[in-house]
Structure 1
Amino acid sequence: MEELTRVDPNEDPYLALRTAFSVSICVILADPLGVTQPMMPVVLGMSLMSNQRGALNPRSFMGPVMLPVMAFVFSWLAAATVSEPMLFVLVNIALAGAGIGLMLFKGSRLGVVLTVFPAMMSMSVLYSDQALVAIRDSMATGGLIVGVTAVVLNILFPPQTARVHIEQPKPFATENPAAELLIRMAVYVPIMLMTYATGDMNLLIVPIMLAFICAEPDRGGRLQQLIDRGGGTIVGAVVAVGAMAIYYVVPQFPVLVALIASITFFLIDKMTTGASRPLYYQYICSVALVMLLSSTFGARDAFEVVVQRVVLTSGAMVGAIALLSLLEAVFLPRKGMAGSPSAAGAA
C-alpha cells in the first residue's frame, strides 16, 4: 500500500490548523444539518484534510466530491441486493476482492473505497433500513461539508509551496498473484460474512482492520499496520478517556468542540513533527474522535465503547497476521519476497 508521507512544516505549516477547524465545523454543523451520525463527517473530514500533501491541485478535492456519489452508489447496491442473499454475498465478495487486490498489487487508495464503504453500507442495511439511510446521508452531507470547508480553509491558510505531491505507491510484485489474493480472501471473506451474520454494527471494525492487514505483502508491513493501527487504537482510547473525563465534569457543547479541536490539532501536528510514522498519529486521532463522539452522541456506555474497540481491533489484527503467515508457509513456501528488505539484501 501507499505510505502516508510526512509533511515538511516549511511547505505546509497550517496542516494541523486546517484539520482542526474542519472537524470543529463538522461537529458544529452536524445538528443543524440533521446529521444523525456526526462521527462520520468528523472522521472523514479529519482523514481527508490531514491527507493533503504539497500544493493544491484538482485531486486535493476529489475525496469530498466523491463521498456523496459513493454514499448513494454503494447504499443503492446494498439495498438492491439484500433481498437476494446469494447475490448480496457474491457482490460483497467481488468488491472486497477487487479492493484488496488494488491495495496489494497497485497500492491504490481506490482499493480502500471498494473494501470499506461497501462493507459499511452492507452492514447497515442488514441492521435496518433506517441505519442505511443514516449512514448514507451522514456520508453524503459530510462530503459536502468537508468539500466547502476544504476550499475556504485552503484559501485562508494555504500551503506554502508550489510543489505538487506525486504519490509513490509500493505495489506487490509476485509470481503467483492469484494465489496471494486467494490466501488473503480465505482469511478476509469468512470474517466478513460472520460479521454480517451477527447484524451488529459495532463489529464492523473487525473486517475493516483485516482489510488493511490483508493488503500488506509481508509480515513486516503487517507488523507496521499492527503498530500504527493497533497501537494507535490503544493510545487513542487513552486520549478519549481523558477527554471524556473532562466532558463529564463540564458537559457543555462548546467544551466538546474545544476538546475535539485540541485533540485534532495536537495529533495532526505530530504527523509533521513526531518521531513515529504519520499514520500512527492519524489513527490515534481517528480512534479518539470516534470514541468521544460515540460516547457523547450515542446511547452506548463510554467504557463499553473503549474496551470493545481496543479488544476487537487488537485481537482481529493479531489473529489475521498469524493466520496469513500460517497459510503462506503452507501454500506459498519461499525464501524471500520480492520488494521486501530481506529479498533486497539477498539480491
Structure 2
Amino acid sequence: MEELTRVDPNEDPYLALRTALAVAICVILAEPLGVSQPMMPIVFAMSMMSNQRGALNVASFAGPIAMPVLAFVFSWIAAATVNEPMLFIVINVAMAAAGIALMLFKGSRGGIVLTVFPAMMSMSALFSDMALAAIRDSMAAGGVILGVAMIVLNIVFPPQTSRVHVPVAKPLDTTSPRAELLIRLAVYVPVLLATFATGDMNLLIVPIMLAFICAEPDRGGRMDQLVDRGGGTLIGAFVAIIAMAIYHVVPQFPVLAALITLITYWLIDKMTTGRARPLFYQYVCSVALVMLVSATFGARDAFEVVIQRVVLTSGAMVGAIAMLSLLEAIFIPSRPEALQAA
C-alpha cells in the first residue's frame, strides 16, 4: 500500500484550507444539484484534496475525472449481473482479487478502485435499483463538482512549491505470491459474499476495512492500519458526537455546513502539524464526516450510526489480522522471520 507522507507547511500552507473549502462546496451544492447521497462527494472531496500534498499536476485530476466514469461503468456491471447470481459473484470476486493484488504486489492505491467501488455498486444493486442510481449519480456529480473546485481552489490558494508529491509504496516481496494472495482472498471473499447475502448497505464497511488489512504486506503494516483506522474510528466517533450535539441545539443547515467545514480544516491541518501519522488524522476526518452526514441527512438514529460503525470497524480489523496471521503460520511457514515480526 502507498503511505501518506507528511506535508511541509512551508511548501503547502493552504492544504487544510483548500480541503475544507472543497468539502464546504460539496455540502452547499448537494441539494441544489440534486445529489441524493451527499456523503459520497463530501468524503471523496476530503480524501482527494488532502491527498494532493504538493504541486498540482495532471495526475491530480485522475480522481475527479475517473469518478463519473467509474460510477457508470461499475453501476452498469452491477445492474447487468445482479439477476445472474453466479456471474455476479464471479465478477465481484475477480475484481476484488485484482484490486487486492494491485495493492499488495504493486503498492498501488489504484487497487482500491477495483475492490471498493464494485462492492459498493453491487451492494446497491442488491438493495434496489433506486439505491444504485442514487449512488451512481452522486458519484458522477461529485466528480464534476470536485474537478471544478480543485481548479479554482488551486488558483486562489496555490501550493508554494513546484515539487510534485510522489507516494511511498510498500509492495510485498515474496517467493510465494500465489499463496499470499489466496490467503488474503480466503479472508476477504467470504466476508464480501456474506455482506452481499445480508443486503444491508450499513454492513459494507466490513469488507472495506478488510480490504485495507488484506492489502498490507506484513504484520507491522496491519497494526499500523489498526491504529490509524481503528483508532481513527473511535476518535472520529467522538468528534461526530460533539458535532451532533451542537447541531441538535441549533438544527440549521448553515450550522451543519460550518461544523463539517471546521472539522475538516482542523483535522487536515493536523495532517501537517500533528504527531501521529497523517493517515490517522485523515481517517478521523473521514469517519467524523460520514457519521455526521449519515445521521443528519439520513433517517438513521445518530446513536445507531456511531455505535455500529465503531463496533463493525474494530471487530472486522482485529478478526482479519488474527485470521491472516493464523493462515500465514499454517501455509507459509518459510516466510523470513524479519517479515513476520515486522
What's 1:218 paired with? 218
Rounded Cα–Cα distance in structure 2 between residues aligned with 1:297 and 1:166? 36
**Can you list the C-alpha shifts for 1:199-242, whole angstroms capped at 9, x where unaligned?**
00000000000000000111111010000000000000000000
What's 1:318 paired with? 318
User: Over aligned residues, Cα RMSD in angstroms?
Assistant: 1.1
Rounded Cα–Cα distance in structure 2 between residues aligned with 1:326 and 1:37? 39
What's 2:88 paired with? 88
Letter in 2 for 1:51: N
Distance 1:36 1:329, change over 3 A: same
What's 1:50 paired with? 50
Confirm or deny that 1:113 pairs with 2:113.
yes
Rounded Cα–Cα distance in structure 1 between residues aligned with 2:92 and 2:58? 31
Tell me, which stretches of 5 or more residues in structure 1 are unaligned? none
**Can you list the C-alpha shifts for 1:64-99, whole angstroms capped at 9, x where unaligned?**
011000000000011111111000000000000000
Rounded Cα–Cα distance in structure 2 between residues aligned with 1:31 and 1:290? 17
1:286-305 equivalent positions in 2, closer than 5 A = 286-305=286-305
Letter in 2 for 1:58: V
1:100-139 equivalent positions in 2, closer than 5 A = 100-139=100-139
SS in structure 2 of the partner of residue 56 of structure 1: coil
Rounded Cα–Cα distance in structure 2 between residues aligned with 1:75 and 1:82? 10
What's 2:13 paired with? 13
Asked if the contact 2:5–2:167 (Cα under 8 Å) also holds between the matched residues in 1, the reply is no
1:152-171 equivalent positions in 2, closer than 5 A = 152-171=152-171
Asked if the contact 1:218–1:337 (Cα under 8 Å) also holds between the matched residues in 2, the reply is no
Tell me, which stretches of 5 or more residues in structure 2 are unaligned? none
Letter in 2 for 1:197: A
What's 2:146 paired with? 146
Letter in 2 for 1:286: S
Rounded Cα–Cα distance in structure 2 between residues aligned with 1:178 and 1:209? 22
1:269-280 equivalent positions in 2, closer than 5 A = 269-280=269-280
Rounded Cα–Cα distance in structure 2 between residues aligned with 1:132 and 1:60? 27
**Can you list the C-alpha shifts for 1:11-32, whole angstroms capped at 9, x where unaligned?**
0000000000000010000000
Rounded Cα–Cα distance in structure 1 between residues aligned with 2:181 and 2:164? 33
SS in structure 1 of the partner of residue 259 of structure 2: helix
**Can you list the C-alpha shifts for 1:30-56, whole angstroms capped at 9, x where unaligned?**
000000111100000000000002211
Rounded Cα–Cα distance in structure 2 between residues aligned with 1:341 and 1:323? 14
TM-score in terms of structure 2 length: 0.98
Alpha-carbon shift at residue 168 of structure 1 (Å)? 3.0
Letter in 1 for 2:318: V
Rounded Cα–Cα distance in structure 1 between residues aligned with 2:164 and 2:219? 32
Rounded Cα–Cα distance in structure 1 between residues aligned with 2:173 and 2:144? 38
Alpha-carbon shift at residue 62 of structure 1 (Å)? 1.1
Alpha-carbon shift at residue 274 of structure 1 (Å)? 0.4
SS in structure 1 of the partner of residue 168 of structure 2: coil
Confirm or deny that 1:191 pairs with 2:191.
yes
Letter in 1 for 2:25: I
SS in structure 2 of the partner of residue 51 of structure 1: helix
Rounded Cα–Cα distance in structure 2 between residues aligned with 1:218 and 1:62? 29
Rounded Cα–Cα distance in structure 1 between residues aligned with 2:180 and 2:102? 13
Alpha-carbon shift at residue 167 of structure 1 (Å)? 2.7
**Can you list the C-alpha shifts for 1:267-296, whole angstroms capped at 9, x where unaligned?**
000000100000000000000000000000
Rounded Cα–Cα distance in structure 2 between residues aligned with 1:148 and 1:104? 33
Rounded Cα–Cα distance in structure 2 between residues aligned with 1:276 and 1:193? 35
Confirm or deny that 1:179 pairs with 2:164.
no
Confirm or deny that 1:31 pairs with 2:64.
no
Rounded Cα–Cα distance in structure 2 between residues aligned with 1:80 and 1:177? 32
What's 1:41 paired with? 41
Alpha-carbon shift at residue 334 of structure 1 (Å)? 3.0
Rounded Cα–Cα distance in structure 1 between residues aligned with 2:221 and 2:71? 30
Aligned-pair identity (%): 75
